[in-house]
Structure 1
């Protein structure tokens, strides 16, 4: 069944096709969200929200892009919304900030499906460094390294040219090297 047939059946309310889409794409949505928000519970919530939005707005899908591209866009949007919500919550009262550690002080402690147990400490340092990247660099890096998308696919998802994606990824690598330099100097001694 091609994308047009799938979309037509979805628009007609075929729940079996929707269940197939969820089964096919839920790992991709979860992994992408996890790579961005770096919190398992938030990634699970985002995954649910993405598929609720897909179900509710399938009639609005213009079919100018692939279904997977649309899912990535929704996932990124929901993930960034979650981060903004968390930032607003972090700006809470003075007592809360005094007595509870801020998110920046809490090390990343989630299990990303692509990280092997023996690389967990290095992965935590890398994910902390990724979190410090500017938003567009972080998104491009996550889509390339965690989702294995090509630069053309990243360009489609982020709605930018391949040249712009190449530039973002080069800057992300440079920034990550700079951020991680201290970590590796300390741990290689």
Structure 2
């Protein structure tokens, strides 16, 4: 079935098209969510939100990009939205603790599980260190690095998903690698130096 026909069936709310969409994209979306938020429960929740958004917005899909690109964009945006909300809650809890309000700080972290399907690092501790370092990158660098190195997307695909030029994607990737080298060097120097 051609993509245009598949999209048309999704827009007509055909059950068979939705089943195929879930079958074709469930693992890819979950993997992307795990790349940004390496906590299984949170990643599953975000992945469900992605499919709800796809179902609710498929009528607006114009076909200016591939369906997979559009779905990746939704997944990345949902992950970044989750991280923003989580960080806002942490800042709020921290401010309350500083000013003496009795509200427990959110001690949870999304770095609780490292069974990411796309990361085959033998040492679990190394994958945790890597994900924490990636999380410290500026947002645009984190998105580009994650989509390229963990999800295996090309710079061209990343440019389409993030709506950035190829040279911007290359530049962000270069800076992400440099920043990760510094972050990881600092970590190893302070812990093993």
Give your verdict on TM over 0.5: yes
CA distance in 1, matches of 2:86, 2:148: 25
Contact 2:119-2:150 within 8 A present in 1 as well? no
Answer with 20-29 or 170-179: which moved more.
Answer: 20-29
CA distance in 2, matches of 1:7, 1:102: 39
TM-score (norm 1): 0.90
**Which residue of structure 2 lines up, in the alignment, with residue 50 of structure 1?**
50
5+ unaligned residues in a row in structure 2: which ranges?
none
Partner-residue secondary structure (3-state), 1:59: helix
CA 1:101/1:59 → structure 2, altered by over 3 Å: closer, same or farther?
Answer: closer
Contact 1:36-1:79 within 8 A present in 2 as well? yes
Deviation at 1:115, TM superposition (A): 3.1
TM-score (norm 2): 0.88
Note if 1:168 corresponds to 2:164: no
CA distances 1:113-168 after superposition (whole Å, capped 9, x unpaired): 13346221111111000000000000000000111000000000000111000000
Deviation at 1:54, TM superposition (A): 0.9
Aligned-pair Cα RMSD in Å: 1.9
**Which residue of structure 2 lines up, in the alignment, with residue 147 of structure 1?**
151
Partner-residue secondary structure (3-state), 2:123: helix
In the alignment of these two chains, the number of paired residues is 186
5+ unaligned residues in a row in structure 1: which ranges?
none
Answer with 4-13 or 31-40: which moved more.
Answer: 31-40
Deviation at 1:77, TM superposition (A): 0.9
Contact 1:108-1:128 within 8 A present in 2 as well? no
